[in-house]
Amino acid sequence: MHTDLLKSLRLDASGVPIYVQLRDQILRHLGAGVLDRGDQMPTMREVAVALKIDLNTVRHAYDELERMGAITLVRGRGSFVAQPPPAMGVRAQVAQIDRVAKQVLATASATGIDPVALADRIKALAKQKE
């Protein structure tokens, strides 16, 4: 499965840091259902070799994904798409929504995207999924 992921990853010269591009592409794959919960991720070394980038750059992206709760790093076994978190309380959910919203706003700002236009697009995409 992760061979398909490796083939689909692309980096560009947009000025967005490489680890952010990598992190965001993996998140998109998760959102699109290309990667399923529990799937093993490619190793950091495999990603670094496939994209011809520094291993520490891949590590940074994977660390970010782990902090976000998208993947789980298991020492000696590899990285896996995280299982759905247990149901969280309202306060924890609001805090998680705020964290994700701030990350999205920071990414939008770094790439020159209007946050209001982005919010409108997110609403439209969410309606399409329903």
Structural domains in the chain, sorted by start? 2-81 (1.10.10.10), 90-129 (no CATH)
CA distance 27 to 90: 24
User: Which position has the token pair 């609403």?
Assistant: 123
Contact 121, 113 (CB under 8 A): no
Q: What is the pTM of this model?
A: 0.68
CA distance 116 to 105: 10
Percent of the chain with pLDDT over 70: 92
pLDDT, tens digit, 9 for 90 and up, residues 45-104: 999 999 999 999 999 999 999 988 889 999 889 999 987 666 667 777 788 888 888 888
- Residue 46: predicted pLDDT: 93
Helix axes 55-68, 90-111, angle to 10 degrees: 140
- Residue 117: predicted pLDDT: 92
